[in-house]
Copies of this chain bind each other. A is one copy, B any other.
């Protein structure tokens, strides 16, 4: 079966995020107040062929740990949608 996968990769809490800090600093001058704690990460969408949802999740978890994230500084949040 083919499952749709969304992987959200975010920097771990405590890791400096210059891109997010730059956005946050710029927004008040652009007319947007009240926006705080901006963190910028990556999102990846793809489909994976697997026998069942557990197998799909195991494959995606390994993919994240080995290639899609740097586990030292990044966390991955995996969402798998049934076909």
Contact = CB atoms under 8 A, between A and B. Distances in A.
Q: Is the contact region of chain A dominated by helix, strand, or loop, or is it mixed? A: strand
Q: Among the interface residues A24, A34, A42, which one has the most CB atoms of the partner chain B within 10 A? A: A34
Q: How large is the interface on A (under 10, 10 to 19, 20 to 34, 35 or more residues)?
A: 20 to 34
A39 B40 CA distance: 17
A42 to B, nearest CB: 6
Contact of A24 (B20, B36, B46): B46
A47 B35 contact: yes
Interface of A: 6, 8-10, 20, 23-24, 26-27, 30, 32-50, 59, 63, 66-68
5 contacts: A23-B44, A30-B66, A34-B50, A36-B46, A41-B44
